Structure 1
Amino acid sequence: MTKLPTTILHSVLLLIVFISIPQTVFAQNPTNLREQYLTPPNEIAEEVLAPRHHNVTLYNLGPSQEYFLNTTQNRTLSPLSAFSKPYYNLGGLQFNPDANRNRYFTTNTTSGLQLIGSRNGETSNIQTPDDALISSASWSPDGTKLAYFAHFENETHIYVTNLKNGRSRQVTRRPVLATLNTSFEWSADGQYIFTVLVPGNRANVPKEPATPTSLQVKMTSDKENRLRTYPDLLSGKFEAQLLKYHVTGQLVRINVNNRRFTEIGEPAMIRSIDPDPKGEHIIVERMTEPFSYIVPVYSFATVEEIWDLNGNMLIELSNSLINEGISGFEEDENYGRRDIKWRPDGEGLSLLANTGEGMAPIRDNDDDQNADDNDSDSEEEEGEEEKTMNRVIQWLPPFDEEDMNVIYETEHEIESVSYSADANILFIEEESQNNEHIYAVFLDSPEETYTIYKHDGDDFYEDPGNLMEQAGGMGVSVVRLSPDQNSVFLSGTQYYENYEENAPRPFIDQVDIRSGEKERIFQSAENVYENVTAVLDNEITEIVISRESPQIQPDSWLVNLETGDESKLTSNVDYNSAVTQAQRERFKVKRADGFEFWVEVTLPSDWDGTPLPGIIWHYPSEFDDQEDYDERQRRHNKNDFPGIYHRSIDILVKRGYAVVNADWPISAEMGDPNDGFVWSIVQNSTVVIDSTANRGYIDRDRMAIGGHSYGAFGTANAMIHTSFFKAGIAGDGNYNRTLTPLGFQREPRDLWRGFDRYVQMTPIFWADRLDGALLMYHGAADQNVGTWPTHSRRMFHALNGIGKTAAMYMYPHEAHGPASEETLLDLWTRWVQWMDHYVKNKGEHVSEAELGE
């Protein structure tokens, strides 16, 4: 039987609550049994619903460099009603069938657009439809127009705004099909938009037969096939037909001035489109049949082709086989071609290929067309192998064999190539054994190369950065050059070995191409974090930066690098100041085995030194050893602003808790890290509680532990293998590793080769040892690999059967992490109730007024 729209499967909109608590607790804590959505105390709700969406980050600068584009929202969170709209989940592809669009477009909250002056911060609103959500806003290459998706109740259209008069109008006559392909593209002249529409002669949607006429058939491969445990796969022939119907669309070119459109080719299952700058050819990636019952849609086979405007397929660029595990992509037919992209000058394609690959024969510019292949003088000397040459190739329309020209070649392995706007300067990236070499080649003298930098990838603290790029005149990304074409710019971040004393400092360097001389023209200050979000001129004398610190809400500033003048462009507000400016301390702890890791404690702003009830929030991470852990800490930024979001556990400081955000290293002195999983859980818990209690932050007799996803897995294990915790909060977790028998996280072994490890780590096998009250919540539509909702259902069933204290909240329409307003408010209500009852008050009576309603 096919999967019906999720709203039919979950037609009951009330929150389903299953709970097992001794009868005496029922009387004391009745709100836990309520099945309606609840609202937490105001002190918590105001943090969850804080209007952070009013804050602005300036990064989407228009081609004219006069304005930034900013999206606006009409609310902080999407309502549950948006998530509840009927949708299909076919092979992991979620879409609203009535509206012909990806589900994300229905649940987003962007409702408007505005322009913000790049030099004065002044704002002006763009006219958009009142009854539509907005997404995918895109500048035309010349910066005179904006296009965007307008998502109405049952269809999506493209609107274009003329920035000269501010008027917006719909340019699509038929609805957009945004299920598989979710974007549109401009031509370089700004006259046309390419997109995929609902086919004009679309047949009726397939109907599932009342009596099955087919069944799903699977067969094992003749080799080991270690696939992930994907949550939603096609269930049979009918779902395959349904998928094909809903992702088959018509490629069109739309004239934005008169709304006339030209259909290009026949309807197809188009995954992506990439028109050339001149708008005369399109790279089309199509999904192809047959489909699979063992992998999701994103692993299905695809073919990448070049089409002309009549829909004729001129050449096949690649043919990716279905990735069902053992076959993988190593057998894909890409003909040795790589780094395929349109040239920024509009003159065909750029690609990389080795000698004898790409599309033989490849014509060199200086080939002697009359050379005799049988000339003995051209034969290699005996025992001498022909060198493989890496080639940069220009491929001109109509993309036949004779249309390929080699414009540069080298014996070294080329990773990628970038261009100047006129395509006369190449910037070649070579990489070998983690050593990176970037150099420039002027095509009027290709025998000479000019090193921009060489970098040993193992030398983390001397990273020179990356070549800065910008949109070229034809809309294709190009390397940013100085006006005299003599210099390039590198942007990166300087990191320091003593990261606790020295915060990362973003920088921009100007490099003379021919001499290699380098000059630092910008670097972040030491006491704040300043990140460049836009460059306003070709000389890079005016830039826009985002500036923040632990006490400074991120804001955008205009900075003149020549004069040092600066002006503030945004006036963002710290809507969660009661939490962001709470007391914090970060310190290092040492386990019994000598392994050291970091802990950060957040305390209420008015904390008076009295030990508080607390919660450890964590996410286990595997490390080979101490060096491996230390290397991953190198990007720590002490100047980060402590942003607060809808599920930030730090919000609990407003309820009088100490919140302990602790790294949670999983390691073993010998063997793989998971050989020491349980030992690490116990030792981490011990040292964190001992250290925070010794510092006077927590009352060790009133502690909880919590985490999401793998953190939920860690929470259950901590409550089973220690007796430190009065309660736990576990979200969207896995509690039975035998249901992920072919590996998980960084675990390399399967169940049968690592049986003892799987058993030791599986909470449900040791559920009888659980100490404390465990609250589990789970999204009923969880799509994460390895955390199906059945994990929470089976764990609750086990805990209920053996008389443990536990609760489970299953949230309709939510995926791997609650996202709707109603769900998040309810979640916080139940978190607060659980924590106040079992931790703060050690299971004693708490009034309903104190718990929140």
Structure 2
Amino acid sequence: MSFLSVRTSFALALLSAGTLPAQNAAPVTPATAWDPQQTLRTETFVRPPANIERMIMAPRVDISFTSQSPDGRWFLRTSGTDRGDIRAYGAPHIWLGGLQIDTRANRARSVTTSTRTGLTLVAPQSGAARTIQVPARATISSPVWSPRGTHVAFIANFPSASYAYVADVATGRSTRLSERPLLATLVTDLDFTADGRHVVAVLVPTSRGPEPQHGADGIEDGPQVRLTESRAVPQPVHFSLLQDPHDKALLTYHTTGQVALIDVRSKAVKPVGAPTMVRALDAAPDGRYLRVTRMAEPFSYLVPVSSFGAVQELWDATGKVVAVLSTTTTREGRDADFGAAMRTVSSDTGKRNVQWNPIGPGLIYLQNVPAAGAPVPSGTRNGSEGGASARTAGMAPVQVRAPRGQLVLWKAPFGPNDTTVLYQGGPQLSAAMYSLDSTTLFVSDSGAVIAVRVKNPADRYNLGRNVSLPSLQRAFGDGAAPRGSSDSTAGQLLTRRVGNASYVLLAKDGKQVAVSGTRVPGANWATQAPRPWLDRLDLTTKTRTRLMDSPADAYEEFVAALDADVTQFLVTRESRTTIPDAWLRTAGTSDAKQLTKNVDVGPEVSGAIFKRIKVTRPRDGTSYWTDVTLPRDWKPGQKLPGIIWFYPREYTSATDYERSRWNTNINAFPTVPSARPASSMQLWAAAGYALIQPDIPIYGSAGRMNDNYTRDLEENLDAVLDAVVDSGFVDRDKMGIGGHSYGAFSTVNAMTLMPNFKAGIAGDGMYNRTLTPFGFQSERRNFFEAKDTYLDMSPFLRADKMSGALLLYHAWEDQNQGTAPMSSTRMYAALQGLGKPAALYMYPYEDHSVATYASDLDLWARWVAWMDIHVKHGAKVGAVKAMVP
């Protein structure tokens, strides 16, 4: 039986047995009768002490203003619960090469688990709000504005199907576009044509046959077959891969859908082409052509679906392929997950950044071409540096210049001679974007942004390297300020999304744009906060006018402009003592109107006592920082039980480490997030503990930092313990430790290297590095190149040295690379065999971070119970045997 079948059968068996309570069912252990030992033994979901449950369950105020209408007037806001319902996550689903599919409803599991149930329009200038009608008993996903802002399309998800809906913005009424259900396995959103007349969607094919089976009558018809063919394919460990030809057939079946144009008014459905495995869709403004990205065979047993090959094609309205725009092959090996984004732009001569022309008919794209008069010899890449000498067999050296980048317009009928070069630039031409009024083109060329007038291309304005366009290349230094930079002028042009394109906001006079950025304090980060700012920039003179500057004692961040002149804009404000809220500001004045009234759901956290101390380890004098959060009623001289929660990181030098702190925001409000438990650690202070969050830098030369991992880990933690004990915060004899993922791995390492911890918590970690033989985290050497390091970093091999009581937890469906659930079950088996105090909790239907209220509450209940017994109240280590049968 395949992995897929085993997992599905296990999940279905649990559901049919009825062992999982509903999300809102009464807790097995009521918070009013908190019993830590009973909590640890209970085999159904439990809940933590009442104050922690209250902070987790309290609804948050939505202060976001993100989905803006094309005219800037309205903002679309979804509503629903912050966490998921275990019943939705437990709905039957299968895994196919990392793709989670709800087979009953023909959609990705992520669509099934949506928690959004309402849609509202909010107008910040007038304060008006308008409710969008949504179908009863459905969840909502992927709402999108029509290009003119007159309609909103969204997906309504019912238990057995998802449908396309469209709402009229003026009335708030919505209607189903088609009775045919969507196929939302790969394409999980909707799109409008640029004229707003049609919605583009992928539907379940009408001629779809029965679902393939794993052999006749579901009986496997042979073994799984693998041949290396002597190919070296190093790769990380994946949770889910295709297993056999039956899995391949299932993947084809569940991803093959019918592309269709649906008329918004008449609801007429026009199929386009034959059903195919559609990954992405983008229709031309008039709906006469479509860009279609298809998943391509052959499939692989070595990498997930996300690394499979694809073909991007241009179709006409009948589905005929007019042109092939790009082709990518299946990416196997270590670089599989980086994909095409990591290619060097200068060496890429294919069509890049293909999009429909935002200001007229046709497509536009970027492309590099060899420089004129520069012959490129056979075997030489176009990306050779300018002036470099190239030599091939039997040829004299040939001077090769760098290729030139160009922006190309390609019009119907999209033949080889239907192109026009709109802009020529350097080899690092990486992005192009028009202004919202269509008068000006902005390009990112070799790190600088250049504005070009559409009607007079010779009229150009170089805005310099401290201004950038939003683009993928920003991550690789495309004109953006370096991470941690204190440059006060580096920023990004303001843009607005309309349909499938983003446009630069250009003022009505055609001369001014707006730029937003953040001034980082650099080495002064411990006493000064980052300060976001907003400038108006004149294209012709490059002079700037400051529109917004965050004060030194608060954090004010730009959100959105309401008009192209940026006369009014939205910000959020917060400080260490003021909860974040959204405000409407008027440029050039101090006028501000508060738009939201946020509520502090965790006064025990926001009112906690915060300390930041510098720790120095004795051996070499290396210093690093540690944050300590104490209960709000703590008094000097009171020694508390302590919990270290941490996540080590690797650095080549102390300077490198210190720069990593430069973006720390000391003016952030200490709120309790609605995110996963592992990011809500301040709740420990509400449970009566001193929470200690140290930086644990691991130092070494590039590529070899992990050779010092166990030494640095032990020395750093030892110095942290001395510092917090000497500061009078904690009792050395009442210390716990914990972490998630790599922090879990490091927690177990610490507990097998040091005798200082009474208890530990380790979740979703990997404890045996021989199970990740081709790299992990920042380690790029494989096991066979750095065997001693891999073995030294594997706490499983030191299980007999475990010094405290260890609580392990892991998600059944942890798809994070290298943290397979088997790691926790094997670690627990070793501790059980050695008679060590331990517990293991495996969470159904969850991924690398829990997403449901049931699991969230359960985790905190067991965490607090574990630490209360073993740390706070100092139970003898052997007591765990009586608690966990």
TM-score of the pair, normalised by structure 1: 0.91
More off after superposition, 106-115 vs 737-746: 106-115
Aligned with residue 663 of structure 2, among 618, 628, 635 = 635
Query: Per-residue CA shift, 1:247-295, capped at 9, x if unaligned?
Result: 1000000011111110001101000111123332211110011111010
CA spacing shift, 1:265–1:676, aligned 2, 3 Å = same
Aligned with residue 594 of structure 1, among 621, 633, 642 = 621
Paired residue secondary structure (1:744): coil
1:747 equivalenced with 2:779 (yes/no): yes
CA spacing shift, 1:837–1:260, aligned 2, 3 Å = same
CA spacing shift, 1:221–1:547, aligned 2, 3 Å = farther
Q: Which residue of 1 aligns with 2:360?
A: 346
Question: Structure 1: where are the runs of 5+ without partners?
Answer: 17-26, 359-381
Query: Per-residue CA shift, 1:293-343, capped at 9, x if unaligned?
Result: 010000011000111111111110110001112796689998522122222
Mapping 1:17-166, distance limit 5 Å: 29-52=37-60, 54-73=61-80, 75-166=81-172
Aligned with residue 14 of structure 2, among 12, 15, 27 = 12
Aligned with residue 410 of structure 1, among 425, 428, 445 = 425
Question: Structure 2: where are the runs of 5+ without partners?
Answer: 22-34, 373-396, 467-478
Counterpart of 1:453, as a letter, is: G
More off after superposition, 838-847 vs 689-698: 838-847
Paired residue secondary structure (2:783): coil
Native 8 Å contact 1:50 1:76 kept in 2:
no
More off after superposition, 382-391 vs 256-265: 382-391
Mapping 1:411-560, distance limit 5 Å: 411-421=426-436, 423-431=438-446, 436-447=447-458, 449-455=460-466, 460-462=485-487, 464-471=490-497, 476-497=501-522, 498-560=524-586
CA spacing shift, 1:384–1:600, aligned 2, 3 Å = closer
Query: Per-residue CA shift, 1:761-818, capped at 9, x if unaligned?
Result: 0001111111000000011111111111100010011111112111111111111122
Native 8 Å contact 2:605 2:671 kept in 1:
no
Query: Per-residue CA shift, 1:184-225, capped at 9, x if unaligned?
Result: 111122211001010011111112224434543323254532
Q: Which residue of 2 aligns with 1:320?
A: 328
Query: Per-residue CA shift, 1:340-380, capped at 9, x if unaligned?
Result: 2222113211112222599xxxxxxxxxxxxxxxxxxxxxx
Native 8 Å contact 2:514 2:566 kept in 1:
no
Counterpart of 2:836, as a letter, is: K
Q: Which residue of 2 aligns with 1:171?
A: 177
Paired residue secondary structure (2:720): helix
More off after superposition, 588-597 vs 103-112: 588-597
Q: Which residue of 2 aligns with 1:393?
A: 408
Counterpart of 1:40, as a letter, is: P
CA spacing shift, 1:827–1:475, aligned 2, 3 Å = closer
Native 8 Å contact 2:601 2:672 kept in 1:
no
Q: Which residue of 2 aligns with 1:827?
A: 859
Q: What percent of counterpart residues are identical?
A: 38
Counterpart of 1:631, as a letter, is: R
Native 8 Å contact 2:302 2:332 kept in 1:
yes
Counterpart of 2:460, as a letter, is: T
1:841 equivalenced with 2:866 (yes/no): no
Native 8 Å contact 1:8 1:86 kept in 2:
no
Counterpart of 2:662, as a letter, is: R
Residue 79 (structure 1) shift: 1.9
Q: Which residue of 2 aligns with 1:262?
A: 270
Mapping 1:661-700, distance limit 5 Å: 661-668=693-700, 672-700=704-732
Mapping 1:685-724, distance limit 5 Å: 685-724=717-756
Native 8 Å contact 1:544 1:558 kept in 2:
yes
CA spacing shift, 1:385–1:149, aligned 2, 3 Å = closer
Q: Which residue of 2 aligns with 1:19?
A: none
Counterpart of 2:622, as a letter, is: F
Q: Which residue of 2 aligns with 1:369?
A: none
Mapping 1:359-374, distance limit 5 Å: none
- How far apart, in 2, do the equivalents of 1:396 and 1:516 lie? 35
CA spacing shift, 1:443–1:150, aligned 2, 3 Å = closer
Query: Per-residue CA shift, 1:91-124, capped at 9, x if unaligned?
Result: 0100100011111122221111112221143433
Native 8 Å contact 2:111 2:188 kept in 1:
no
Paired residue secondary structure (1:29): helix
Native 8 Å contact 1:65 1:118 kept in 2:
no
- How far apart, in 1, do the equivalents of 2:570 and 2:333 lie? 46
- How far apart, in 2, do the equivalents of 1:120 and 1:783 lie? 46
- How far apart, in 2, do the equivalents of 1:827 and 1:702 lie? 21
CA spacing shift, 1:5–1:801, aligned 2, 3 Å = closer
Residue 387 (structure 1) shift: 6.6
Paired residue secondary structure (2:121): strand
Q: Which residue of 2 aligns with 1:570?
A: 596
Counterpart of 2:50, as a letter, is: N
TM-score of the pair, normalised by structure 2: 0.87
Residue 676 (structure 1) shift: 0.9
CA spacing shift, 1:470–1:702, aligned 2, 3 Å = same
- How far apart, in 2, do the equivalents of 1:724 and 1:186 lie? 60
Paired residue secondary structure (1:586): strand
Native 8 Å contact 1:69 1:114 kept in 2:
yes
CA spacing shift, 1:284–1:771, aligned 2, 3 Å = same
Native 8 Å contact 1:343 1:350 kept in 2:
yes
Query: Per-residue CA shift, 1:540-560, capped at 9, x if unaligned?
Result: 110011111122211111111
CA spacing shift, 1:424–1:393, aligned 2, 3 Å = farther
More off after superposition, 245-254 vs 659-668: 659-668
Aligned with residue 307 of structure 1, among 297, 315, 318 = 315
Paired residue secondary structure (1:158): strand
Paired residue secondary structure (1:552): coil
Mapping 1:742-781, distance limit 5 Å: 742-781=774-813
Residue 126 (structure 1) shift: 1.7
Aligned with residue 841 of structure 2, among 794, 809, 812 = 809
When the two chains are superposed, the root-mean-square deviation of aligned CA atoms in Å is 2.6
Aligned with residue 298 of structure 2, among 261, 266, 290 = 290
CA spacing shift, 1:206–1:224, aligned 2, 3 Å = closer
- How far apart, in 1, do the equivalents of 2:369 and 2:586 lie? 48
Paired residue secondary structure (1:202): coil
Residue 844 (structure 1) shift: 5.7
Residue 594 (structure 1) shift: 2.4
Paired residue secondary structure (2:604): helix
- How far apart, in 1, do the equivalents of 2:783 and 2:568 lie? 58
Aligned with residue 822 of structure 2, among 790, 794, 811 = 790
1:336 equivalenced with 2:350 (yes/no): yes
Native 8 Å contact 1:119 1:569 kept in 2:
no
More off after superposition, 677-686 vs 75-84: 75-84
- How far apart, in 2, do the equivalents of 1:570 and 1:386 lie? 57
- How far apart, in 1, do the equivalents of 2:311 and 2:565 lie? 42
- How far apart, in 1, do the equivalents of 2:282 and 2:95 lie? 27
